[in-house]
Structure 1
Amino acid sequence: MTTPGTLGARVRTGIWWSALNNLTLRLGTLVTGILLARLLDPEAFGVFAIALTVQTALMTLSELGLAADLIRHGDIDRRGPTIATLSLVSSGFLTVAVLLAAPAFADFFAAPEATAVIRVMALTLLLAGIGVVPFARLQRDLRQRELFHIELVAFVLSTGLALGLAVAGWGAISIAIGRLVSQTAVVVLQFVLTRTRPRVGWDRSVAWSGLRFGLPLSLAGLLSLGLLNVDNVAVGRLGGVTVLGLYSIAFNLSSWPSSIVGTAIRAVAMPAFAEIHRSGTGDATATLARACGLTWAVAVPMSVGLAVLAHPVVTILYGERWAAAATALVWLAPLGALRILIDVWVAYLTAHGRSLLLLGCQLLWFLSLVPAMWWAVQGRGLAGAGLAHIAVASLVAVPAFLVALRIAGVGSGPVVRALGVPLAAAVPTVGVGVLAVTALDDPWLQLSVAGLAMSGVYALAAGPHLRRLTLDDAPADRPPPPTAAASTVGSHRAA
């Protein structure tokens, strides 16, 4: 069994590699997006956004939460063939369904030109289903260095094809073809680096336990993606393809913190929480509170800085014709910090087998967001979409997840207190940034002066708190006191 100390070292190494992966690829994606924005018009971006909305939603459903089941349980050699069979059947069925239903999806968004793009993107569903077992093995073993190399190869292929075909005048389908080729490379490299080959098999007990855990998790993931795409539906239906293109730029920018910080943490949090849960060591509340405190302290300045500097960021990166996207980015940026925090909670609930609790939280969030989003977009346009997101996430999702964590045995008090200092430090940080942006007219000056001022204020206000968190030993790396151990064992039995 892996000792907690070894686990802590693996987690730290995994986070560094995952952060490097996401930072490198995010910067590369940013440059690619800028080049594509110069080559394509907002309408083409809107068409691709429609195809991506369909593909990402169905990608989660096709996988049935089976990768997470393998990561949580381990024993991949025994469980893998059955899980591979389930994933292959599910992804194959959905691929065929999307190929046939592509015209209907395109008509729903009032964009018939998206049909071909949706069909190309549908093929990535089957590829992802084929690679579920080697992907789970890499994730469970925290092999983030190998995953970085895989993503780097995929990024080079995807970017090269997308830019080349866009220059040749292929339009939105150029991005889709790049995604398809890169997904093919990802699956091949996953099998090569894990030194495995595709294997299918059937074990009824494995299939039943995998579906019992994975189906609620898959539905929760589908709802999570729905939360991030219901705005695309509302904006596309009410504003048209061009407005959707503007909104997609704003949403992509708002996702920077989640992509860089959140994805790095997600890659290691669930395997680490699962290992701690299996070993029965550590105080669950203290471990989660510290993880939330570190994550939140990094996510808050990135998100509030992006909100305050929305206009200069958009105009500098994409040009004045995309300036309207800043209207949505102002409100979408804070959502990025909340998404990162909730991702930590999702990883904890998943690792502890609480997929039904997770499904309940996501369902409540989704049912609250749909009417709020439709009403807000009708009344406030692009800004309304961002407002609806941040309001529902703050007032509905966060309380719901705190209740779920309490049911799972985590005290909400320490978790909430861990968020206080970064949130308080954000107040003067935003104030200084708004003053600097208002006083200056040139976007470059706004970005540089306000960015430096905000960084300095936040460092002064939250720096000592962040330093204490990073220097303190992780609770998982030292034996828990007897009382904590007793309470933890109780929560394990309940799970």
Structure 2
Amino acid sequence: MGLLPRTAADDTSDPGSPSLGATAARGAVWSGVSTVILRLGSVLVGVVLARILSPDQFGLYAVALTVQGILMTVADLGLSAEIIRSEEPERVAPTVATFGLISGTSLTVATVALSGPLATLLGDHRAGSAIAVLSLTLLLAGVSIVPYGLMLRRFQQRELFLISLVDLIVSTAVTFILIAAGLGVLSLAIGRVAAQAVSSTLQFMAARVRPRFGLDRTRWRAVLAFSLPIAGANLFTWILLNVDNVVIARLAGATALGFYVLGFNIANWPMSALSQMVRSIAMPYVSRVKDSAGALPMLTSVIWAMALPAGVTLAALADPLVHVIYGAKWAPSVPVLAALGLYGSLRVIFDLFAAYLYALGRSRGVLWLQVLTIVVLTTGMILMTTRHGIVGAAWVHVGASVIFILPGYLGIIRATGVRLGALARACLRPTLATVPACLAALAACHLISAPVIALLVGGAGAVAVYLAVMGRWLLARVRQVRGPQAG
């Protein structure tokens, strides 16, 4: 890709810039605003779709998204991370663009050719056409790796928000028009491709780059040496997030998968927002901050202080939440949501730890941890889904996270100089403050019979209790992240 001259955003991102903390903080604010608004929009669209589609149809689309999500990670090849961390992004950009084009094209062709067998392998051949259509997003994502990476590098979160907003509008409009025309589940796939085409085009415009390809023989080996382990780790992360879908589709069927995916999606409402903010800000921040090991406990405490109460409160309010928003036909999703609240909170912290290690160039440790976790998770999923259905599958996520994944990450980051004692102390107060907030939500559910009132009172009560304990503490920590660490 050809690049224009460096912008002011590039300059403020330099390692020696005293404004790095403030720039990252502004980016985090825009990322947070973006993900909250977009997540709210996606939730509203999801509510309408859940009312229109049956659990079986919802499950079919989930099968297609499982394939698309895993392959989308492969299409990136970890190349956007190379753009973010490189000291000379303008020099590596043509090489990155070439690898992205090759990867996206190859995966699209292969997925279209194998869409039928993939759908059958996942338990329902009817998902084949949706998989084939969604594969086009792999090509579009591969082509737009460079502008996307540059926007993250420059903390252009406001522009990314606007692009994502357009993406949501296009996807929603196309989907509902095609549903009205009678295309059913295929409408969602076509809507996603249309939105990806528009957002990829807008990324080129916002990053002010134009397509240009080439291969720098002095750099391509180094680019792949850094990027491929990250691609592998990202792939295994996606597999970890989707292996349950594969097992449930095979062992319990598309209808059960529909119930499970709905509960999983609700549990990830706030977590997806926080994870997006972490992924967009943490790596460029950590890669430039003076003392990355010293900064991690502070960053972790701030993220944990938002993720833990959100996940636990969702779990506590699972029953009224599902009944009020989605309707009684989705009641089997309630115990899934109740189990996955804590898992969602932990997943945000895992994203932060992974971004920290990527910034230090230590992606191999993350890769091996993901490989071992897949073995543990897959084995547990097969055993628990067979015996306890979708609820057993949900609890496997929680158990694997607490017993295996968290200790694994702590062991890896300890080797980078992070003091685990400081990390634990930083997270203690948010953990303790979450207890009374959770009790307030549970009390509302048990004492109030009307689901709508229980949901409103329980949610408001949990937020009020938590902010009363943690409000000043959280603001102080945010100021500290913005300040001396970035000097």
Which TM class, normalised by the smaller chain length?
over 0.9
Structure 1 counterpart of 2:61: 48
Of 103, 110, 130, 1:117 maps to 130
Of 183, 193, 205, 1:192 maps to 205
Cα distance in 2 for partners of 1:208, 1:148 equals 34
> Following superposition of structure 1 onto structure 2, how do residues 10-49 of structure 1 map, counting pairs within 5 Å?
10-49=23-62
Distance change >3 Å, CA 396–CA 303, structure 1 → 2: same
How much does 1:73 deviate? 1.1
> Following superposition of structure 1 onto structure 2, how do residues 110-149 of structure 1 map, counting pairs within 5 Å?
110-149=123-162
Distance change >3 Å, CA 71–CA 471, structure 1 → 2: closer
Structure 2 counterpart of 1:64: 77
Structure 2 counterpart of 1:411: 419
Of 341, 346, 370, 1:338 maps to 346
Corresponding position: 1:421 with 2:434: no
Amino acid at match of 1:384: G
Cα distance in 1 for partners of 2:139, 2:48 equals 29
- Spell out, residue by residue over 1:422-474, the C-alpha distance to the aligned partner (whole angstroms, 9 max, x if none): 11122232233222211221111211222222223222333343243234364
Contact 2:298 / 2:481 at 8 angstroms: preserved in 1? no
Structure 2 counterpart of 1:315: 323
Of 166, 177, 180, 2:193 maps to 180
Cα distance in 2 for partners of 1:419, 1:368 equals 27
SS of 2:361's equivalent in the other structure is coil
Structure 2 counterpart of 1:484: none
Amino acid at match of 2:422: P
Cα distance in 1 for partners of 2:168, 2:440 equals 37
Contact 1:285 / 1:415 at 8 angstroms: preserved in 2? no
Corresponding position: 1:389 with 2:384: no
Contact 1:110 / 1:237 at 8 angstroms: preserved in 2? yes
- Spell out, residue by residue over 1:38-66, the C-alpha distance to the aligned partner (whole angstroms, 9 max, x if none): 22111111111011000110111122101
Of 323, 327, 335, 1:327 maps to 335
Contact 1:285 / 1:414 at 8 angstroms: preserved in 2? no
Of 222, 235, 245, 2:258 maps to 245
Cα distance in 1 for partners of 2:427, 2:381 equals 27
Corresponding position: 1:462 with 2:470: yes
SS of 1:204's equivalent in the other structure is coil
SS of 2:18's equivalent in the other structure is helix
Structure 2 counterpart of 1:258: 271
SS of 1:161's equivalent in the other structure is helix
Corresponding position: 1:284 with 2:292: yes
Cα distance in 2 for partners of 1:162, 1:334 equals 32
Of 90, 98, 106, 2:103 maps to 90
Q: 5+ unaligned residues in a row in structure 1: which ranges? A: 480-495
Distance change >3 Å, CA 384–CA 473, structure 1 → 2: closer
Cα distance in 2 for partners of 1:464, 1:367 equals 42
Contact 2:313 / 2:462 at 8 angstroms: preserved in 1? yes
Cα distance in 2 for partners of 1:179, 1:426 equals 37
Structure 2 counterpart of 1:347: 355
Structure 2 counterpart of 1:158: 171
Contact 2:36 / 2:270 at 8 angstroms: preserved in 1? no
Pick which of 462-471 and 183-192 moved more: 462-471
How much does 1:146 deviate? 1.0
- Spell out, residue by residue over 1:229-270, the C-alpha distance to the aligned partner (whole angstroms, 9 max, x if none): 011011111111111111111111111122222211221111
Amino acid at match of 1:398: L
Pick which of 186-195 and 214-223 moved more: 186-195
- Spell out, residue by residue over 1:278-334, the C-alpha distance to the aligned partner (whole angstroms, 9 max, x if none): xxx2x3333110000000001111111100001111111111101111110001121
Amino acid at match of 1:329: L
Distance change >3 Å, CA 296–CA 473, structure 1 → 2: closer
Cα distance in 1 for partners of 2:213, 2:365 equals 31
Identity %: 37
> Following superposition of structure 1 onto structure 2, how do residues 367-382 of structure 1 map, counting pairs within 5 Å?
367-382=375-390
Structure 1 counterpart of 2:7: none
Contact 1:71 / 1:137 at 8 angstroms: preserved in 2? yes
Structure 1 counterpart of 2:364: 356
Structure 1 counterpart of 2:410: 402
Contact 2:153 / 2:284 at 8 angstroms: preserved in 1? yes
SS of 1:323's equivalent in the other structure is helix
What is the alpha-carbon root mean square deviation over aligned residues?
1.5
SS of 1:324's equivalent in the other structure is helix
Contact 1:364 / 1:397 at 8 angstroms: preserved in 2? no
SS of 1:472's equivalent in the other structure is helix
- Spell out, residue by residue over 1:340-396, the C-alpha distance to the aligned partner (whole angstroms, 9 max, x if none): 111111111011101111112212222211111111111221211110001101111
How much does 1:3 deviate? 3.7
Cα distance in 1 for partners of 2:439, 2:271 equals 23
Cα distance in 2 for partners of 1:288, 1:326 equals 35
How much does 1:475 deviate? 6.2
Contact 2:230 / 2:367 at 8 angstroms: preserved in 1? yes
Cα distance in 1 for partners of 2:325, 2:481 equals 40
SS of 1:419's equivalent in the other structure is helix
Give the paired residue count: 474
Structure 2 counterpart of 1:483: none
Of 86, 89, 96, 1:76 maps to 89
SS of 1:409's equivalent in the other structure is coil
Of 457, 460, 469, 1:452 maps to 460
Cα distance in 2 for partners of 1:175, 1:478 equals 43
Cα distance in 2 for partners of 1:101, 1:252 equals 27
Contact 2:84 / 2:152 at 8 angstroms: preserved in 1? yes
Cα distance in 1 for partners of 2:438, 2:159 equals 39
Structure 2 counterpart of 1:492: none
Structure 1 counterpart of 2:241: 228
Cα distance in 1 for partners of 2:67, 2:161 equals 26
Cα distance in 1 for partners of 2:293, 2:98 equals 37
